[in-house]
Amino acid sequence: MGRGRVQLKRIESKINRQVTFSKRRAGLIKKAHEISVLCEADVAVIVFSAKGRLFEYSTNERMEGILDRYEIHSNAELQVQGSGIDARLTLECAKLKNRLGVLERNKRQLMGEDLDTATLRELQHLEQQLVSTLKHIRKKKNQLMNESISELRKREKALQEQNNMLDKKVKEEMAMIGQLLTRQQQDNGRTNTTSPASSSTVLQHAVPSTYLRSSRGRDESGDIPAAEALQPADPVLPPWMLRPLN
């Protein structure tokens, strides 16, 4: 008993509908591939699922070329009737839409999506793109790291030079302070080593001898005789004048 004729109507079961869609889609793509090989025809198949997912097939990966040829032939009558400008705009809009769809599909595939219908050649092309992109990313990362390291080395060198200058200034200031302290200590030592004899000599030079009175020759009343009042004093000061200097 042969198979019965399948009635064409919407399949109510969601699971059966999805299974049938996958089988029929694979069969359609298989038939398109067969006709392209047997007849050397350019075939393009575009299928959107119920959820809006795109599935496509084209011979020799020339989907854009086939779509452009389709747009040209479909708008040939409009161009003949004199609406060439509108036809060109419509054709350009269609081309842009097609390119946008291809770019979106490539983007999804690069993100790891919509790989179910991708052929081996498409997967290899995606792999090459990812490898090339990864190389560019690593090259840019290494360049930024080298620039950052070079900048840090320059900053380190500048800080080292600044540190050396500050160290030199500190050493110079310390040397000046040491010299000042040495001079102050020498001055203090000279002041402390001054003898009473030298002090008396200074006083002798400071006070004229004519105005010095001798402590000898005082009478009982304590007055100095008139003859001795103006006599020059001894070259050595009396002890009562040297006492405050000790």
Let me know if residue 149 belongs to a domain: yes
Let me know if residue 176 belongs to a domain: yes
Element (H, E) at 176: helix 120-192
| Same domain as 103, residue 19 | yes
Q: Is the pTM of this model over 0.75?
A: no
* pLDDT, position 31: 93
* pLDDT, position 216: 45
pLDDT > 70 fraction of the chain, expressed in percent and rounded: 70
| Same domain as 83, residue 18 | yes
For residue 44, is it left (φ>0), alpha (ψ between -120 and 50) or beta?
beta
Angle of the 84-110 helix axis to the 120-192 helix axis, nearest 10? 70
Let me know if residue 213 belongs to a domain: no
| Same domain as 52, residue 100 | yes
Q: How many domains does the chain have?
A: 2
| Same domain as 126, residue 109 | no
| Same domain as 123, residue 112 | no
Residue 116 has pLDDT above 90, yes or no: no
Let me know if residue 3 belongs to a domain: no
Let me know if residue 74 belongs to a domain: yes
Considering 6-10, 26-30, 236-240, the range whose residues carry the highest mean pLDDT is: 26-30
pLDDT tens, position by position, 31-75: 998 998 898 888 999 998 888 888 888 887 678 888 888 877 776
Please state, as a whole number, how many other Cβ atoms lie within 10 Å of the Cβ of residue 79: 15
* pLDDT, position 111: 79
* Cα 68 to Cα 62: distance, rounded to the nearest angstrom: 10
| Same domain as 45, residue 95 | yes
Segment 166-171 shows an average pLDDT of 92
Task: CATH number of the domain at 61, please.
Answer: 3.40.1810.10
pLDDT tens, position by position, 119-148: 788 788 888 888 888 898 999 999 999 999
pLDDT tens, position by position, 188-224: 877 765 545 444 444 444 444 444 444 444 444 444 4
Domain finish residue from 97, 116, 135? 116
Local confidence band at 86 (pLDDT 50, 70, 90 cut-offs): low
Higher pLDDT, 80 or 41: 41
| Same domain as 25, residue 109 | yes
* Cα 110 to Cα 191: distance, rounded to the nearest angstrom: 95
**Boundaries of domain holding 40:** 14-116
Contact between 33 and 57 (Cβ < 8 Å): yes
| Same domain as 27, residue 98 | yes
- Map the chain to HEC letters: CCCCCCCCCCCCCHHHHHHHHHHHHHHHHHHHHHHHHHHCCCCEEEEECCCCCEEEEEHHHCHHHHHHHHHHHHCHHHHHCCCHHHHHHHHHHHHHHHHHHHHHHHHHHHCCCCCCCCCHHHHHHHHHHHHHHHHHHHHHHHHHHHHHHHHHHHHHHHHHHHHHHHHHHHHHHHHHHHHHHHHHHHHHHHHHCCCHHHHHHHHHHHCCHHHCCCCCCCCCCCCCCHHHHCCCCCCCCCHHHHHHHC
